[in-house]
Amino acid sequence: MSRLKPRLVRRPHVLPGDWALGLHPVLARAYAMRGALSLEQARPTLANLHPPGTMGGLDAATALLDDAMAANAHIVVVGDFDCDGATACAVGVRGLRLLGARRVSYAVPNRIVHGYGLTPAMVEEIAPMAPDLVVTVDHGIACHPGVVAAKARGWKVLVTDHHLPGDVLPPADAIVDPNLRGDGFPSKALAGVGVIFYVLLALRRHLRDRGAFPGGEPDLSQLLDLVAVGTVADLVPLDPNNRALVAAGLRRMRAGQACAGLRALAEVSQRELVRLDASDIGYAIAPRINAAGRLEDMALGIECLLTDDLARAREIAQALNEINGERRAVQQQMLDEAERALSRVELPHGDLPPTICLFDAEWHPGVVGLVASKIKERLHRPVVAFAPSAPGSAMLRGSARSIPGFHIRDALATVHARCPTLIERFGGHAMAAGLSLPLEHFGAFSRELHAAAVGALTPDLLQAEVLSDGELDPAEMGRSCAEAIRDGGPWGQAFPEPHFDGEFRVLSTRIVGQRHLRMELGMGALRVNAIEFGGAAEPPGERVRIAYRLEPDDYRGGDAFQLVVVHREPA
């Protein structure tokens, strides 16, 4: 399966205002080109957070929690089987205990056994725990049957979620979701872990107002390492509010204040906490937490995040590392099978359909999201990958990944409106969604999604692009600029790390690690080291035009820096 060649496009050049004085000029330009109009927007801090009072549902939520704590009721936090759900569960449990709750437990569904979220099967699972109040984190807004089943047992239910709601809300006692229609909270980009953190902030204020902390109130900032990890892992847009949360969490981790589980996960993934950035979370720490929910039981990942025993955390982190290795092997096998399937999907004249739906009876439902993501990256098409919900099951679980400009959750809603019996359940965001449907409906679903995409997916949207911040002057290429960019984050979704482009002479090349291309490039009198991961298959000519990240080369140290090539074409 060949990768769709992207088009290199430069961002509109924007000069920063006086607010950027004192910043490295390249970093200041990057902030301005991402829409920052002030230092507070460019480098937001916790002082810039939107106040909890603007979020709907918090008064009812804090009243529920306060009553439960006062009655010494049993509170069960029900998590989700991805990294956002795991960190949200850990934040919920740790935070409630910090604020004085004495009976707090947690539970998390098993993907194969219970399905997604608070299902009736999950309610049966936690019934022996005899909860008085169930708190969902990172799910619940679409869990109507599960909420009904919990209420039928006499339990109170608090839903905290960030996913888009349907037309009818579940009958919970309180719902906190910034994406509810009419909710006044300015940031709609909070991850599930961010929502429960805001619930805890509101609860602390509520308890403070009634004099519950005569000896001093608990410090909830100690939860920000987990908030940062879950926010980055869930690929939500890093708007100023989320960047403030992530930046604060990263500062704690770099200062050695990470919880035992995150310290152990950084060790096992060979990342130094003192230099940790958002990309380390996304590529090293989060996948190891996610692996537990994909192939095993996310309870293992949550236990890692809840223990304060570093030896126990290291033991669990090693187990998660081994599971992640197994996950990578399963993922590669599934990708190989997907490539073979795609060779049959491609049309005779070489064009691809606007949407791609794939299914294999041997695939694992915990890894289809990663397969969809990888194929979407290669082909720049919305992709839905399906697997049986359990071995031999006639019910499929699918994960959808989309491209900018095509709202995949809305597309699923369109399909559902046209054919109400086709999809059993669905939910998600603009760029990612999940769904369930019977195997016999796979073909009809593929056709209906294709029909929903035709017209909406214009040729421009289907053309992959690499956005560049322009060309760097040779005098700007140096370690100081690379460090300014690294330290100027967090970078991520909707606030991407700066990329630059330019034409270079290829002075020398060599292959490293069998797949990667190491180059020495020249621009005028400047000679620079560059690496292109996965680039060994296409040797360069004498001159190249590349898009690249400028990074400190910590391996060589001193003043060393390197270009990490993300796009290459003949000059």
For residue 38, being part of any structural domain is answered with no
Helix axes 83-98, 224-233, angle to 10 degrees: 160
Same domain, 378 and 418: yes
For residue 247, being part of any structural domain is answered with yes
Same domain, 415 and 476: no
- Residue 509, domain CATH: 2.40.50.460
3-state class of 51 per DSSP?
A: coil
pLDDT at 555: 79
Same domain, 512 and 543: yes
Same domain, 204 and 352: no
Same domain, 68 and 215: yes
For residue 59, being part of any structural domain is answered with yes
Could you tell me the sign of the dihedral formed by the alpha carbons of 132, 160, 408, 235, in that order?
A: negative
Q: Give the residue carrying structure tokens 């016999």.
A: 440
Could you tell me the sign of the dihedral formed by the alpha carbons of 368, 369, 372, 375, in that order?
A: negative
Same domain, 498 and 386: no
- The tokens for 395 are 């019910």
- Residue 408, domain CATH: 3.10.310.30
- Residue 235, domain CATH: 3.90.1640.30
- The tokens for 441 are 């409906």
Same domain, 487 and 440: no
Q: Structurally, how many domains does the chain consist of?
A: 3
For residue 458, being part of any structural domain is answered with no
Per-residue pLDDT reduced to its tens digit, 17-49: 999 999 999 999 999 999 999 999 999 999 999
pLDDT at 427: 87
pLDDT tier, 194 (very low <50, low <70, confident <90, very high otherwise): very high
Same domain, 533 and 487: yes
Of 66, 54, 57, 61, residue with least CA distance to 211: 66
For residue 516, being part of any structural domain is answered with yes
For residue 525, being part of any structural domain is answered with yes
**pTM, whole model, 2 decimals?**
0.92
Last residue in a domain, options 453, 479, 507: 453
Per-residue pLDDT reduced to its tens digit, 47-104: 999 999 999 999 999 999 999 999 999 999 999 989 999 999 999 999 999 999 999 9
pLDDT at 346: 53
Per-residue pLDDT reduced to its tens digit, 440-471: 999 999 999 999 999 899 999 999 999 999 99
Same domain, 444 and 477: no
Last residue in a domain, options 256, 277, 296: 256
| CA–CA separation, 435 and 487 (whole Å) | 39
pLDDT for 349 beyond 60: no
For residue 461, being part of any structural domain is answered with no
Same domain, 114 and 244: yes
Last residue in a domain, options 213, 234, 256: 256
pLDDT at 220: 98
Boundaries of domain holding 423: 346-453
Q: Cβ neighbours of residue 293 under 8 Å, at least 6 residues apart?
A: 80, 81, 82, 83, 85, 86, 108, 111, 301, 366
- Contact, 315 vs 267, CB < 8 A? no
| CA–CA separation, 20 and 83 (whole Å) | 35
Same domain, 166 and 78: yes
pLDDT at 292: 87
pLDDT at 11: 96
Same domain, 210 and 148: yes
For residue 300, being part of any structural domain is answered with no
Per-residue pLDDT reduced to its tens digit, 266-325: 999 999 999 999 999 999 999 999 988 887 789 999 999 999 999 999 999 999 999 999
| CA–CA separation, 413 and 340 (whole Å) | 30
